[in-house]
């Protein structure tokens, strides 16, 4: 297996155990999602997954999306966003730009047009600052559609936004009245 494939597999495994199912390997996360690296390595090995510090460092440092981070003392690791398990992340509320974007699949539009955007199986709705990234996200779920979110208007009405280290914006939900679909329906990949 080449190095890139190994790192992708490790990243997917870390997403599973640090975002969704730490119990899969008997891992303990604290209230903010931090896991002890030694416990992670030991429990992963007992579950048949070989991890070491150099591989973890590569995954953390080379990932474009900055999904994971180390604690300042280098003894703990956590997923920065995307959790389906309840945590109290210490994100500071931040003022968003006028518009943010959300990529999804066309098949989800009827539900979104009726109910707005909810976090699904995560704690937050994930939003990005550029349309291209939203298109890429939408492609992972089917025929992509980009939703333009009136983020600053929401913020002015009291909705909270949080910006992660990887420039992903998080909010609890997006009501229908803050979603623009029509203006972006013709968006093509790469435009």
Say how far apart CA 147 and CA 84 lie, in whole Å.
22
Mean pLDDT of the chain: 86
Q: Please provide the distance, in angstroms rounded to a whole number, between the alpha carbons at the two ends of the chain.
A: 35
Q: Say which residues have a Cβ less than 8 Å from residue 28's Cβ, sequence separation at least 6.
A: 22, 35, 36, 39
Q: Are residues 179 and 121 in the same domain?
A: yes
Q: Are residues 107 and 177 in the same domain?
A: yes
C-beta separation of 164 from 81 below 8 A: yes
Residue 173 sits in which domain range? 100-184
Collapsed DSSP state (helix, strand, coil) of residue 70: strand
Banded model confidence at residue 133, pLDDT cuts 50, 70, 90: confident
Within-domain flag for 95 = no
The confidence score (pLDDT) of residue 137 equals 83
The mean pLDDT value for 141-167 works out to 91
The mean pLDDT value for 81-93 works out to 72
pLDDT beyond 90 at 6: no
The pLDDT tens digits for 23-41 are 999 999 988 889 999 999 9
**Count of structural domains, the chain:** 2
Say how far apart CA 57 and CA 102 lie, in whole Å.
30
C-beta separation of 164 from 78 below 8 A: no
Say how far apart CA 151 and CA 97 lie, in whole Å.
7
Q: Are residues 106 and 73 in the same domain?
A: no
Please give the model's pTM, rounded to 2 decimal places: 0.62
pLDDT beyond 80 at 127: yes
């Amino acid at each position: 297996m080449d190095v890139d494939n190994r790192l992708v597999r490790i990243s997917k495994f870390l997403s599973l155990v640090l975002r969704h199912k730490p119990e899969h390997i008997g891992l303990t996360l604290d209230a903010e999602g931090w896991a002890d690296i030694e416990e992670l390595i030991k429990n992963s090995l007992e579950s048949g997954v070989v991890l070491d510090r150099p591989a973890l460092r590569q995954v953390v440092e080379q990932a474009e999306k900055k999904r994971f981070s180390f604690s300042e003392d280098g003894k703990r690791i956590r997923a920065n966003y995307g959790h389906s398990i309840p945590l109290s992340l210490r994100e500071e509320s931040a003022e968003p730009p006028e518009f943010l974007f959300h990529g999804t699949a066309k098949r989800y539009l009827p539900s979104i047009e009726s109910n707005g955007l909810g976090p699904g199986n995560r704690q937050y709705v994930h939003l990005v600052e550029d349309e291209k990234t939203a298109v890429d996200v939408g492609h992972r779920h089917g025929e992509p559609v980009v939703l333009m979110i009136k983020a600053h208007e929401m913020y002015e009405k009291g909705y909270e936004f949080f910006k992660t280290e990887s420039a992903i914006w998080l909010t609890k939900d997006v009501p229908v009245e803050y979603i623009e679909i029509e203006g972006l329906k013709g968006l093509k990949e790469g435009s």
